[in-house]
Amino acid sequence: MDLSWLFEPARMQFCEETLPGLIKHPADTWTNISPFIAGLATLVVAKRPLERLLGASALWTGLASAYFHASNTILGETLDLSGMFFFILSIAALQQYRATPWIGNATVIWLVVFAAIALTVLSTISTVLASPMFAALVVLVIIRGIYDRKLGPWAWAMVWSFVVAWAFWWLDFLGILCVPGNHILTGHGVWHLLNGFVFWFTFLHFRESVDRHVGPAEGV
């Protein structure tokens, strides 16, 4: 099986111009330190398996996105998409756990992993599908939070951080906020940096709301 196509240039390109060498897009690579740190911090302090899953999704997103922008390959692009789906599905799993805590954590974790892989594979058919599918999942998660009446201060901090971050994503992608020769901080890099806060606020929200609903975790 010829897999060389995975190392061809990524189909989705952002503002920062591509450089020769090991790191193709320096600014869009280093800024993934933010979700990486948020994921690591979540894994350190989380007590529930699904909270650790959220931390793992943040950590994976940071690593996958860094590889994507460093390599500028289709493989990196695909791994980056998997992180996006992994994260939003982890939120959906925590929402469901809050409502039905008796459901086995292992079962839910495997469902999240398989669903993230399936959506990633589907999105590789066309990158045009990726953002709409992710956006649809985000909207469903927000609607679920409103319906459950669980959108506290941390949830709104998460939502608005994401809205601002996504605005920078589009400004960079559409070339509105764009200086191609800038390899220090780009609009897409701001998206990465703000996503670290999105991940951390998400963890704080669910730790607080789940503790209130099902009780504090005790060594799980």
pLDDT, position 219: 42
CA distance 142 to 51: 18
CA distance 179 to 117: 34
Contact yes or no for 68/80 (Cβ under 8 A): yes
pLDDT, position 177: 92
The pLDDT averaged over each successive group of 10 residues in the chain (220 residues) is 83 93 96 97 93 94 97 93 90 82 79 88 72 76 75 87 94 95 96 96 86 56
Which pair of structure tokens corresponds to residue 22?
């090991």
pLDDT, position 16: 97
CA distance 201 to 178: 28
Core vs surface per residue 72-111: b (16+ CB within 10 A) or e: bbbbbbbbbbbbbbbbbbbbbbbbebbeeeeeebeebbee
Give pTM, 2 decimals. Answer: 0.86
CA dihedral 49, 52, 58, 63 (to 10 degrees): -110
Express each pLDDT in 111-166 by its tens digit: 898 988 888 888 776 666 676 777 778 788 778 777 777 778 898 898 899 999 99
Task: Give the domain ranges of the chain.
Answer: 20-214
